[in-house]
Structures are given as structure tokens and as C-alpha cells.
Structure 1
Amino acid sequence: MKEREQVALLIIETECKNDTEALITSSRRIISRREVNCKEDEYSSDNQCCKKCRSGFVKNVSCPTDVTKHCAPCQKGKEFMNHPNDLDKCLRCKLCDSNFGWEVVKNCTPEEDTQCDCAKNHFCNHTRCDACSPCTICGSGVIEKQCTRDSDTVCGMKDPATLWWIALVALVALVLLAIAGAIVWYKKKQKHLTINTGLPGNGVYKGEHENVPLIVEDVDLSSHIPGIVAEMTLTEVKKFVRHHHVSEPAIDQSIQDFPGDTSEQKIRLFRVWYQSHGMKGAYGTLIRSLRELKMCAVADKIEQKLKAAISSSQEGGQSYNPDSEQSKTCTQEGRNSYNESAELSKASTASLEETLHRVT
């Protein structure tokens, strides 16, 4: 009798346990269904549905419920967001760097990124294009296929005899042009400048300013940029470009484009300044600004490097004359760089005079 009662109790307990588990499972399914019941323009966050911001906007609260109040617009011309989102920061607009052959096809808007393409007389035939290359100029003068934005020029060939005569004429023209240029340059210097041959400091041109080394202020710095920034730290380059009002977004973009590569970051920052300033007066502005910022040693090193690089092509009457008060703030080492430049000018002038006497 006792055995039958025990069996009956066991059956009742088993049925109660099954009913309880079924009830718990059913409750979990109901809760789970409630958690994923968000609309297409919404997203789930902490068991509640939040509104997605539309293109051109990002959220300014953790869970937007009203897109007109809880979504902030991207900054025009600097930021964009091209899809509905639940982000709290806009994306930065892309820069079309002309130094890499790019030009702007369509400006950046809050809803769309900048569109770049190869500039005129440039092309890129790669699927992923990091830089556009200059179109080939046909030395023969025969073009079989014009350069396009995705293919280079295809050149043809002229008759060998014709090419020989063209080369000969071009060579004669270059020689005559070089002689004429040297004569004009020499006469101009004789007219406007007097060479001091009897005192210490011989070889320094004396004109409007005393003891000023001959330097072309409008020299093109494009090919010298890597050498210039090699003498500066990244902090010094940032300080220089900020001094000339380069925007913080442009500085940040240049740093982000080359993560971990300090050399490329410095080159890109300097190119941003040089592109906005232009070639005219850039050399003088560079040296003058470095002295104003108390980076005299850097200014002296860059000045010496540039003088050595362009000493063979110093032509024209413009001379760089740093402000006298700014020069006083620099070290004796900085002032000695001018004397070194004077010696270079003396040697260059003596060589030119000897060449001209031989020609005449």
C-alpha cells in the first residue's frame, strides 16, 4: 500500500515540474519578442527603440527619440554623413591634393563626401588610385592617342632624319639662349650691384641693402620640401603652419592620412601651407617666420641647405633681406650663414666672369 502511495506522489511531482518549465519558457519567448520589435528607421538600445538620424546628421544624445531635437548637423564643407545612422560623430571630408594630381569635381556637402578626379593633363589607370601621374609629352611630336583621365598618351615616331634635324636645331637654340641669358644677367649685375673687392667680406653684393647674400626669394620649394622638413620636428612643423593660419581640420587630416609615419605627416602639412601661400615670396616667408618663432637654428640649417641646392641656378635681381630686428634675436651661428653664402656668391661670380671673357 505504501509503495502505491509513493508512486502516486512521484507522478504528481513530475507533472507539476513540467507545467512550471513550460510556463517559464513561454514567458521568455514573450519577453524576447518584445525586445526586437523596432521599426526600420529605429535601432535597439538597452531594451528600447531609438530613432536613427538621417543623412547629414548624427545623434547628440545616447538614444534619440525626436530626430529634430536629438540629431545635430555635420559641419558644412568639413564633415559629412551619407547614410541613416546611430553614430555620434560625422566623417571628415576628403582633400583633393593638387600635389598628387587631383582636382575637386564636386565639393563636400553634409550628405556627401568630396569627389576627386585627375586634374587636366593627368591620368590614373589603376582601380584604386592614390595619385594621378602627369600625361606623357611626346618628344617626337606625333600623338597617336590623346591622354585621358584613365589612360596615358600614346606616342608615335617620326622619320629618323627629321628627328636628327629637330634635335640639332633644339641644341643650337639652347646654347644660344644660355649665352644670351648669361650676358643679360652679367650686365644687369654690373648695372645695379657693385662688388666689394678690397675689403674683408669680399664676394658679397652691395646694393640697396649692405652685405646681403644673393638669394632668389621666389624659388620653387616643391622639390625641396622633404629636405626642409627633415630639419624640423613634427611639433615645429605644426607650430609653423598654425602660425600661418592652416586650419586644425586640415592639420588633423594630414596626420590621419599617414598614421605612424612622421616624415610623410610633416611633408603633407608643409605642402598644405605651400599650396595656400604660393611660390611667390615663399622662401622669404619661411625663413622670416622661423626666426619670428625663435627657431633660429632650424632657419639657419634650412637656409644653408637651400643655398647649396640652388647655388647653380641663382638668377634675377631679387634678394632675400630678413627684418633687421628679427635677425638680432638669432644666434651668431645664424648670422654666420650669411657670410658662408657670400663666399658661394663670390666663387659663382668669378666663374661666370671667366666664362664670359672666353666667349667674347
Structure 2
Amino acid sequence: MDVLRGKWKEKCILNVCTLLLLCWSVDLSLSPPPPLDRTQELQCLEGSHYRNANGTCCRKCHEGFKLKKDCTKEGESQCEPCKEGKTYLERSNYAKNCLRCTRCDDNEEEVSPCKKSRNTVCRCIEGFYKKRIDSVTRECLRCKTCGPGERETQPCTPERDTVCECMDFRNQKNNRNCLPCQNCRSADCQQECASGTDPTPKPEDTGWGVWSPYLLAAFGCVCVVLLVVMGIMGVLVVRRKPKGSNSFLSAEITSQGSEKSTRRLIQEDPENVLNQSIPSYSPVCESEQEPLRKLPACVPKEIKISELIYSVLDQVPLRRVKELVRSLGVSDIVIERAENDHLRDTKEAQYQMLRVWAKGNAQGGGGVLARPLLYHLLDKLRDMDLGGTAEELETKYGDQ
């Protein structure tokens, strides 16, 4: 039994050794590839690398450069610079094309020029602020001016419009004018005017408020003195009237005698008497009053076409001017001709479009706009949801 056990152990040992030799002799190429290094895998997730179509992790191009050719296992990515002053790329990238530089629009000034790694920086000129239409488009609009009863809380900057609010003891009606609280009738304005103090503004203490009692007292004294003097003069006149009755009688007799003598002179020499007695008539007074009769009761304010057009272009957004011109009845042929004549000056082209509309019904020598055309323009602006612009133009050019 012991002999059999020894042989079995020897066979087991030999089998195990044989298996180990077979495993060692297997081709190592059949084994799975080693896993990627964790650091190499994370490099493509960072901002400085990207993975190309072949799965190779490549380094991105620096800002101001675009990708010319992807990298390979043997070499790095090939990049080429953007054109200075014409195109740019602001970040590390693997884009095939550079971006075109921005040009400053009307009412803008250039802060810094375009470079390979940075776009042009523009800002609105003084008196205008930037309004963003979307993520790319923007325009510069004229800063708002606070109206009557308003005060400025934040001044206008190139990035933000003026902010106004109603003064104390005033409320805003229909988002337009600030009215005194004592004229408040609706529930909304009563809520705005509600405060712990009297909503009626107290008059300021001026010099008139200090001196008015003294001035009234002095005026009363003067009136009393005048009444006393007039009373004394009346008494004196009444007392002296009987003594002067003879003078009235003599005057009457004199007048009767002069009347008789006049009749006698007329009978003797009527022409000479008429020439001496009838005063010469001079029409100077009538001619002096004649210009005053010709003046009208009210002279309406003239609306100059050029001034109105520039006000419209300052208020209406740049991209909606053509829509306004078409609504006013200007034909597409006229619009196209104005654009072709002023390819590099958009504002001048739009000015010529509006000038064609205004000149068609001008009065006063061709430089004055007919008032019905102004009301027609205001109606079209309100139809385009530009009520604020219409209100400002109506305030400036409406009936005075």
C-alpha cells in the first residue's frame, strides 16, 4: 500500500509540472492587450486634447490658430494661424476655419482692434446704449431722457439705458407721465401714493412766503391812504361848486356867442371856414393797426422734414426701418435704388427712403412736412408695436 501511494504522488507531481510547462509555452501574442493608462485616457477629457476620427488622442491648437491636419501616432496635430485683423479664434480648438472679425456698426466706436486670438471690441458712443436683440445681434439706441415729474436714478452708460422714477408724491399713469398724488382717483395710484405723510406736496419756503404778510399789510395801508385822499378831494369839490356856477353860465353864453359868429363866417366865406375848421385826416393809425388785423390767432409749429427723419432714424430700430418705409407706401423699386446708391452708408439710404415719402406731400416750399403725414406716421409706428417711439415723436412734433 505504501508503495502504491508513493507512485501516485510521483505521477501527480509530474502532471502538474507538465501543465505548467504547457502554459509557459503558449504564445504571448494571444493574450489580451494591456488596459490603457488612466492618465492617457483622461488627457482627451481635458480642454487641451481631443480624440480624432481614428480614436487617437490629439492636442488642440492654441488660440489664434486653426487645425490644418489631425495628429497621428507618429506626430502632433498641424495648426496654422488665423489672418491678422480679419479672422480670429479665442480658445484652444480643433476647428478647421477661423471666425470672421466683427465690424463696429452705426453709433459705435472701436475700443480695441481685431487680433488673431481676440475679436474686435466695440462700444456705443456717448449718448447711446447697447441693446442685445439676440446672442449675436445688438444695436445702439439713444439714451432716454427723464420727463416732467421724474428723476434720474441711474445714468445712461454704454451698456445700460437711463433709469428714471417718479419724484416724491407722484405716481406713474399708464407707464407714461408722473402725475401729482392729489389728482389720484384710481385704486392703483392710491396704493402707490399711500404713505405715512401727507401726499400733497408742501410748497417750498421761498422769499415770497416770508415777505408776503408784510407786502399785503403795506398794500392795505396804501389803499386806505388813497381812499382818504379821494374823500378829502371830493369834499373840497362839493364845497367849491356854488362859487363856480357863474363860470358855467359864462361858458354857456360864450358858446352861444361863438355859435352865432361861426354861422356868420360860414355865410361870408364858406370855403375858408371849412378848410380851417375841418382837421386833416391821417390814415397812419389805421395803417399801423392793419398788420395786427392780419395776424392769425395761432401760428402752428412747422415740422422740418430733415429734422423729423433723423428723429425717426434715432428712435426706430435699424432692422425695422425698411418695414416702416413699406408701410408708409414707398415702393420696393425706390427702396432698392436708395440701397444701391448708398451701399456703404445704411443710415443715408434709409434717410433717402423716408425723404421720398415725405417730399411727396411736402408743403411750405418743400422743406416742411404736412401735419396729416405726421399723424399717419404715428399710426404706422403704433401698428408696429413701437408705441414708445410714437409717443416721443408726438410729444416733440405734435400740436403745441
TM-score > 0.5 by shorter chain: no
Relative contact order (C-alpha < 8 Å, sep 6+): which is higher?
1
Please state which band the TM-score falls in when normalised by the shorter chain: 0.3 to 0.5
TM-score scaled by length of structure 2 = 0.35
Question: Greater Rg, structure 1 or structure 2?
Answer: 2
TM-score (norm 1): 0.38
